[in-house]
Structure formats: structure tokens, C-alpha cells
Structure 1
């Protein structure tokens, strides 16, 4: 995943599905999350390569049985992101590597413990968060909002119109920035009384861990989460 806020969102999604859909999945406490920055070199994605290499000793001890790599698609193409991940896997595990052909596909790698000669299977998969083949997790959340969003919508529309008139290119915001602003306004102004609009109630950790379960700010069973739900369930479902 790309940052800590993604973890808070994914954990909230998993807990919601576990509670409301009676899914037999692992506790979020049993998931080892790790964030890596966006890669600038798709041929040699250093941060992802290092993160994968750092797990080799744990794989050969049977600590993990599945690894999921999840990114926002943004404006990229799925096949390009998939190629980047395969490049990282090939460099990190040259002897164990098998190609991942598509998102949401589990591919098993074999890791041998040289001391005991035991072999452990670890399944790898990836998923790219998107809304109509572009965007990121915030686009899904905006689409699945459950409360009135009068102020957030107003500012969003006015901002788009105003930005079109700006002359300086470095002042113009991308659509992804506007969606993030919409989320910030929605969780602070549209869904909180004035007295509660403070930093404590608007950190993303608080929003996902405390406010979402109580207030249902977002509908986690909305169709926009269908693919993401399938991937996260694939990663965390209990083995029978």
C-alpha cells in the first residue's frame, strides 16, 4: 500500500465486512501492513524490491502464506503497474519468481529454509484501486458517501470553475487533489457540528476507526468496493 491512511481505510473495510457480511476472515491485528512510496523507475522499483527482500527470512520460516500488493491506479494503466510489480518480484526473488498475469490472481512462490530443508509456499497477488480505470481510494469513498454533502459539493464545484481561470499553471490542482479536498470538507463540515470540528475528530485514523463504525459516513457495501472487497477477502480469508 502507499501510505498509513490506506491502512486505516482497508482495516475499516475489513472490519465492516466481517461484522455485516459474516465473512470468516483474519483479524486486522494479524495483518502485517507495510507502506512503500510511489515508484519513479518501473524497471527497477527500488522501494518495493527492498520491502520484498526484507521478508525472505520470514517466508522461509513459514510466517506468512499470502502477500498482497495494492496501489491506486491514478492515471496509470493497469498493465504498466502490473509490469512494475513483476519487475520487483523478479529482482527480489530471481530463483522463486513466477509471473502475475492479472490483478486478483494468486500466484504461489516456493521458499526453502536451507537449515531445515523445509519448503514454504507463499501466494502473491496485486490489485489496483480505481473508479472506471482511473483515480484512487478517495474516488471510491466520495462515490459511496452516505450523508448530505452540500458544503463539500459546493466548494468542489466552485473550485473547479475558479481553477479554470487561473493563469499560473503551478497553482492549478489536479482532479485527485480536488477529490481529497472534497473528502476533507465532507468529514469536517458536512458531518460534524461546529463544536466538534477539531483535529481530533478529523484525523483519518479517527474517521476510520471511530467515526465510520458509529456514523456510517461511507457505505462500504456500495458496488464501487466490489473488486476491492474481493481482493482484500482473498488476502485475509481464513483457511479451512
Structure 2
């Protein structure tokens, strides 16, 4: 029986795979949507379709534990929990309402029982993957940090940038100018960009601190997949 983790995008999968390998946990990852193919973002329909496909696959390759990780973005925890429950109810008829993150509930499928739990990517209750990456950077970041002055200047000029967009910008500058060598910058698109995050997480994962306290709750969630259900 397998353990499956549903994540939101390709880059989420790359990051979580690296963290799972770091923790040496027996979990496979599945992508809900590919951010390079859609601009519509996560929806109930997309997640329901993914859950149905996994339920069908479960008949041939039984699933023991199923985890769902999505960004909290600017939603409240209660709103995100409601979203998850709205996606689970059409797929699993006997499901109890999920109430808390990082807690398993058990549902029935035609072939076996599946344990399901969820977690929301966040830092202090807000954000997404880039928010986490910004929080766990391990190298000095003078270039990226100067963006805060740029942000203030923009605000003084009557402009505005959403925090999630700022975090994405910050991470890209950090990768390209604070962690890439001059030689790597000659192939910046391949070696110094979130557009090729797989290269970063394969060859430069030391630019992130996997021991940062901001990852502890996520680690606790992932560690559930290495324990017996009733422990």
C-alpha cells in the first residue's frame, strides 16, 4: 500500500519531494494542477477530479494514507478547511468532516480504508510556496533584501504590489543574484530561475535551510505518514 501526497503545482512537488527525501519518508507526490498550463488556479472541480482519479487507481494500487497540501494564500484556515471538505464529500460518501490540519480521518473505498489529512502551506498563517522559501533562505540576501526599499518607494509613489507577487520577486532575485555564481548567470534561465526550480532543488538546495523553524509544522504533518494511524 502506498502513501500519496497531493500538492498544488509542479514547483510545490519539487520542493516537497526534496523535503520528503531530506526527512527520508515513504511518500509519493501527485500534482493537482500544472501552473504552466492554467491561469485559473486551484478550484474545487480540479481537486475533485484528482481525488476521483486516485480513488479509481486505488482499486489496483491501494492507498494507505492520502495527504493534501494547498496554499493558504490569504484565506482563513476555516475557509480552506471548508474548501477541502467540499472537495472530499462528492468523492467519499461516508466521510466525516475534516476539522483540523495534520489529523487523519478514515474513509471507506470499495477495496480498503484510506486515511486522509491535509495541511496548508503558510508562514504565520499567510502565503504560498514562495512565502516559505523566503522565510527559510540560508544565504545572505543583500540583493533581494533591497527590494523592501523598492517596495516602500513604490508605495510612496502611489503604487502597490501584492505580497504574494513581492515574495515571488524576492525569491527570484535571491536565487539569481544572491546565490548564483557569475558562471551560472551565463545560463540564468536554466540555473538561476524558479522557471527551472528542479535544477535549483537538485544542485543548490543548500540555499534553503531545511532545519528552519518555519518548516516544523509541515515536518510534523509529513511525519504522520511514517506513523501508525492510531499512534
Fold match (TM-score > 0.5): yes
User: What is the 5 A alignment of 1:4-153?
Assistant: 4-18=10-24, 25-26=25-26, 31-36=28-33, 37-39=41-43, 45-93=44-92, 95-112=93-110, 119-153=111-145
TM-score when normalising by structure 1:
0.81
Pick which of 200-209 and 55-64 moved more: 55-64
Measure how far apart 1:140 and its partner are: 2.1
Cα distance in 1 for residues equivalent to 2:74 and 2:228: 35
Radius of gyration: which is bigger?
1
What secondary structure, in the 3-state scheme, does the structure 2 residue paired with 1:102 have? coil
Q: For residue 150 of structure 2, what is the aligned residue in structure 1?
A: 159
- Larger RCO: 1 or 2 (CA < 8 Å, sep 6+): 1
Measure how far apart 1:162 and its partner are: 2.6
CA contact (8 A) 1:72 1:128 kept: yes
Measure how far apart 1:58 and its partner are: 2.1
Q: For residue 220 of structure 1, what is the aligned residue in structure 2?
A: 210
RMSD: 1.9
Dislocated runs of 4+, deviation >4 Å? none
CA contact (8 A) 1:61 1:120 kept: no
Q: For residue 204 of structure 1, what is the aligned residue in structure 2?
A: 197
Q: Which runs of 5+ in 1 are unaligned?
A: 19-24, 40-44, 113-118
Cα distance in 2 for residues equivalent to 1:220 and 1:70: 18
Aligned residues: 211
